[in-house]
Amino acid sequence: MYSDIEKSQLQAHLAARIIEHTIKEMPLVNDFELIEIEIPLETRKKIESLVSIYKKSISKNNTHMTKYSLLSTEIEFGLCNFFYSIRNYQDALEQLENITKFHTCNTKAILCKSIIQELIGRFEDAIKSCEFILSIDSRNLDALHRKGVLFLRLTRQKEAIECFDRVLDINPRHELALYNKGMVLSEMTRRKEAIECFDSILGNNPGHMLSWYNKGMLLSETDPQVAIECFDRVLDIKQDHAPALYNKGLMHEMLERLDEAAICYDAVLRINANHLPSLFHKGIILAKAGLTDSAITSFDRVLDINPRHELALYNKGMVLSEMTRRKEAIECFDSILGNNPGHIPTLYNKGLALESLDLFEDALSCYDRIIEIDKNYGNIQCQKGRLLSSIGRHEEAIECFDSILVSNPVNTNALYYKSCTMLKAGKKEESFNLLEAMILLDPRYKDVLRNEKDLEGFKIDKRFVKLMN
């Protein structure tokens, strides 16, 4: 009869041999390089069951057998790759820790350990693993680069750049270090230095698509034409690269080449019919071209996908307003304000649409809401004053203009509209004095005033005629 210890030893040996055979049948054993392969469900269950039996047998064993001591190092790493492939990173890490416990200077295994530690969010431990490698081999490029990437994950940009620079001191043509350094510098808005990194890559590898793309993105604000050339290089390599097509469209739009921009957006939409930014910008271009119905159709496609897309709602509302379809425009503006009640441009344009429908009190409510949020927004006080004046509430209108003139006594718009309001209120003398002050501030207003219908009551006045000469 076998004792319990002997039974557990037998189970452990048997499980170990089956594990070894199964692992060797799959491409999981290699020279300490993490690989991910498709594991059939049946094989996965088999190995998991064997590992469970093996662990239990070892834990019951009272001899000096240590955990997994019956498995060779290569099989242990094969098991690590098994767990890595099924995304059981905790067990994969346990395998690596068991390996490095006995192979303390195996830098390849320690680097794999750092990768797994990163995957489970243990970034500081992953950095320490890299530092341990570097204590053994200070010029280990993989560990230096990985340490830089880990600092990036922790948004420790300066330390990341120091790591990449150390890599580049050893190998100035290290592509990944150059690329990642360029990406960090991009995030830090150090555009010129970032472009230098991408150019260094492209000098050795002119087909490096991501460097062309990111260089184009960096140039998009300052040199849209050169940015287009970069995106074209991307498209030479991959003609259906949607981000390059989209950003090329933006550059053409920036340069007012609307037809070329539309071609780019249409190309994106052939790849992805639901690409919201392309649908939106196509709508903007159609609106600029005066194709209002087509623009609304494009905005509606955006809103079918995302009914709360604020910019699509806003621009659809603006186009409808231009088409004098103001009730529909107000519906768009109300949809925005339902989610964002403090959206000032929407409040302002809703107010204008309400004015056009003679809904003056509702329009005033929009303007008052804007003033509550930002009393200095654009010409809001002037707009409110003009509306109050047009409906005969002259004293309130004058208060609006005065609120502007208190902080800016030379605001010619406020002076002009206050003078018109005073004329309507029968305060002809005060009105004339304001016009005179305005012309003294800027004589060019003479030409404007001569053609103003609001000043018909002045135009026969001798003083007005003299002032206009």
**pLDDT tens digit sequence for 349-396:** 999 999 999 999 999 999 999 999 998 898 899 999 999 999 999 999
Domain contains 468: no
Domain boundary at 103, 125, 151, which?
103
Domain contains 308: no
State the DSSP H helix or E strand holding residue 299, giving kind and residue range, or none if neither.
Answer: helix 292-305
Place of tokens 């050795």: 204
Based on the domain organization, do 4 and 98 belong to the same domain?
Answer: yes
In this prediction, residue 212 carries a pLDDT of 98
| Distance, CA of 40 to CA of 25 (rounded, Å) | 13
**What separation, in Å, do the N-terminal and C-terminal C-alpha atoms of the chain show?**
127
Domain boundary at 182, 206, 230, which?
206
Based on the domain organization, do 8 and 87 belong to the same domain?
Answer: yes
Domain contains 211: no
Domain boundary at 153, 181, 206, which?
206
Based on the domain organization, do 82 and 143 belong to the same domain?
Answer: no
Share the mean pLDDT of the chain.
91
In this prediction, residue 9 carries a pLDDT of 74
Based on the domain organization, do 126 and 199 belong to the same domain?
Answer: yes
Token pair of 4 as six digits = 């319990």
Based on the domain organization, do 167 and 91 belong to the same domain?
Answer: no
Q: What is the mean pLDDT of each run of 10 residues along the chain (469 residues)?
A: 63 80 84 90 88 77 51 88 93 91 91 96 96 96 97 96 98 97 96 98 97 98 97 97 98 97 97 97 96 97 97 98 97 97 97 97 97 91 94 94 90 88 86 83 78 71 74
Based on the domain organization, do 82 and 168 belong to the same domain?
Answer: no
Q: How many domains is the chain partitioned into structurally?
A: 2
Domain contains 33: yes
Based on the domain organization, do 121 and 70 belong to the same domain?
Answer: no
Based on the domain organization, do 95 and 158 belong to the same domain?
Answer: no
Dihedral, 146, 151, 157, 160 alpha carbons, nearest 10: -30
Based on the domain organization, do 88 and 4 belong to the same domain?
Answer: yes
Domain contains 261: no
Write the CATH number for 144: 1.25.40.10
In this prediction, residue 67 carries a pLDDT of 47
In this prediction, residue 60 carries a pLDDT of 61
Domain contains 437: no
pTM: 0.82
Based on the domain organization, do 68 and 126 belong to the same domain?
Answer: no
Separation in Å, CA 4 to CA 19, 77, 149, 386 = 22, 30, 50, 98
Separation in Å, CA 445 to CA 413, 436, 440, 455 = 11, 10, 9, 13
Domain contains 42: yes
Based on the domain organization, do 64 and 128 belong to the same domain?
Answer: no
Which residue range forms the structural domain that includes residue 169? 117-206
Domain contains 332: no
Task: Note the pLDDT tens digit of each residue in 49-99.
Answer: 888 888 877 766 544 444 446 788 888 899 899 999 999 999 999 999 988
In this prediction, residue 69 carries a pLDDT of 60
